C-alpha cells in the first residue's frame, strides 16, 4: 500500500467523521430549537380603554365651556349629540404627537450625559 493511498484513506476517514459529527450537531440543534419554539408562555394581560376616557374634571370643563360659549341652552344637556370618545381620541393623538416629538431629545440626553 502506497503512502498516497494511506493519506487518502486518512483524509476520507476524517471527512466522514466530520460529516457524522456535523449531522449529529444539526440534529441536536434543530431538536433544541424546536423544543424552545414550541413552548407557550402566559403573559400578564391588562385591558384598558384606548384612548383613555375623559376624566370627570375634563367632562365638567367641556360642559362649562359649551354653556359659556352659548353652544347649548343653559337647561339642555351640554354633551347631547357630542361624541366624547372622538374628543378623547383627538386629545390622545395630540398628546401622542408631543411625546413622539420629544422622544429623540430624551434619548439623546441619555446618550450625551
* Buried residues in 44-68 as b, exposed as e (16+ CB within 10 A): eeeeeeebeebeeeeeeebeeebee
Contacts of residue 92, defined as CB under 8 A and 6 or more positions apart, other chains included, come to 50, 51, 52
Q: Which of 31-35, 50-54, 74-78, 106-110 has the lowest mean pLDDT?
A: 106-110
**Per-domain residue ranges of the chain:** 1-36, 56-112
Residue 102 has pLDDT above 60, yes or no: no
In this prediction, residue 113 carries a pLDDT of 46
> Of 88 and 98, which is predicted with more confidence?
88
Express each pLDDT in 5-55 by its tens digit. 999 999 999 999 999 999 999 999 999 999 999 988 888 777 766 667 788
In this prediction, residue 15 carries a pLDDT of 96
Amino acid at each position: 500500500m502506497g503512502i498516497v493511498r494511506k493519506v487518502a484513506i486518512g483524509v476520507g476517514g476524517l471527512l466522514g467523521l466530520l460529516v457524522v459529527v456535523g449531522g449529529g450537531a444539526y440534529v441536536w440543534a434543530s431538536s433544541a430549537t424546536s423544543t424552545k419554539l414550541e413552548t407557550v408562555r402566559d403573559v400578564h394581560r391588562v385591558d384598558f380603554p384606548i384612548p383613555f376616557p375623559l376624566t370627570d374634571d375634563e367632562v365638567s370643563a367641556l360642559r362649562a365651556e359649551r354653556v359659556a360659549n352659548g353652544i347649548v341652552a343653559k337647561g339642555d344637556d351640554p354633551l347631547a349629540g357630542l361624541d366624547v370618545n372622538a374628543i378623547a381620541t383627538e386629545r390622545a393623538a395630540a398628546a401622542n404627537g408631543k411625546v413622539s416629538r420629544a422622544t429623540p431629545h430624551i434619548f439623546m440626553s441619555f446618550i450625551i450625559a
